[in-house]
Amino acid sequence: MDREHHLYLLLGSNIDAEHNLASALALLGERMDIDAVSSIWQSDAVGSDGPAYLNIALSTRTIDDPASIKERLFRPIEAKLGRIRTEDKNADRTIDIDAIVLDGEVIDPQLWECAHIAVPMAEIGLSITADPYGSLDLRAKSLQMRTNITRRDDLFVLLGGKIMDTPKERLDYGTAAPDAVSAFIKLEGYVIKSGLDRELLELIKMRASQINGCAYCLDMHTKDARARGESEQRIYGLSAWREAPYYTKAERAVLAWTEAVTQISDHKVTDELYDEMRRHFTEKQVV
C-alpha cells in the first residue's frame, strides 16, 4: 500500500490573485485530500514594488511521491494558471505553490522568518517548535506584530464559504416585529451593563457561535474581539481552551458554563459548574 504523506502548502499570488488562488485550490483538491484551509492573508510584495500578495495555507494528504510532486503536480498547475518563471525571484506571479512542511519536517526554513507563511500556517493548526523561536504560534504572533499583514475576511467566499452568501432581504424585522427587535436590543444592553468585561463577553459569544456552527456570528464576534485587543492566539485556541495555557480561571469557568448551557440537551449543567461560576461571578452576572 502506498504511504500517505502529510503536506502543508502555501499558495500565493499578486496577479489576479483572487481568481488564481480559488482556481489553484480547486485544482489541488482534485488530486489531494485537503483537510484545512486558512483565511486569505494580504501582505506587501517582498523585494519589489509590485501589487500586494494574497496567501493561503493548506493542510493536505497525498500518496504521491513527495520528491516528485512539485514537478508532477505543482508546476503543471502553476503553468496552467499562467505562471512564467524568470531569473527574478521577486517577480510578480499568477500563482506560487510551495511545500513548507512534509510529514512534520520543515522543508522551507522561511516559515520562521516570514509572516505571510507563519501566520496562515499557525492559523490552520501547524504545531511545531524550533530553537531559538519557540513555538510557531508565538513566532507567528511576533512576526505579525511587525509586518503589514491583514486577514481578508471579505474574501471568505473564495474558499468555499458559500454559507456567507446572503439571499435578498425578505423581511424588515424592525417593521414586521418592532417589539421583538426592541426586546432583543434591550437584552443586549442589559448584558453589557451586567458588570462582565466586554472582552469576556466576546469570548462567550465566539464559543457559543462555534458550538452552533454559525459562520456569520463567528465572523462578527471575532472582529469585535480583535477590535477590543483580543490576541490571535487566544481566538485560534478558543475551541481547545481546556488544553491552552492562556485563559484565566474565571475565563475557564465561564467557557465551561457556556458550553453546558448552549448544549442544554446534554444535561451537563452540573452543580460543580455552577459553584465554579459563583466563585468568580455574581448571581446577576451568571444570569
**Choice among 3-7, 94-98, 219-223 with the minimum mean pLDDT:** 219-223
Q: Which grid cell sits at 213?
A: 456552527
Mean pLDDT of the chain: 84
275 burial type by CB count under 10 A (0-12 exposed, 13-18 middle, 19+ buried) = exposed
pLDDT, tens digit, 9 for 90 and up, residues 234-262:
888 888 888 888 889 999 998 988 888 88
Q: Give the model's confidence band at 208: pLDDT under 50 very low, under 70 low, under 90 confident, else very high.
A: confident
CA 103 to CA 33: how far, in whole Å? 15
Model pLDDT, residue 1? 53
Report, as an integer, the average pLDDT of 57-84.
90
Largest distance between two CA atoms of the chain: 68
Q: What is the pTM of this model?
A: 0.56
Gyration radius of the chain over CA positions: 22
Q: Give the model's confidence band at 165: pLDDT under 50 very low, under 70 low, under 90 confident, else very high.
A: very low
User: Of all residues in the chain, what percent carry a pLDDT higher than 70?
Assistant: 89
Q: Give the model's confidence band at 85: pLDDT under 50 very low, under 70 low, under 90 confident, else very high.
A: confident
- DSSP designation for 160: T
Report, as an integer, the average pLDDT of 101-114.
94
pLDDT, tens digit, 9 for 90 and up, residues 167-200:
455 666 667 777 776 676 667 667 766 777 878 8
Q: In order of start, what are the domains of the chain with their CATH numbers? A: 5-151 (3.30.70.560), 173-285 (1.20.1290.10)
CA 105 to CA 139: how far, in whole Å? 17
Q: Which of 170, 15, 130, 161 is nearest to 83 (CA)?
A: 15
Model pLDDT, residue 172? 66
Residue pair 54/23 in contact (Cβ under 8 Å)? The answer is no
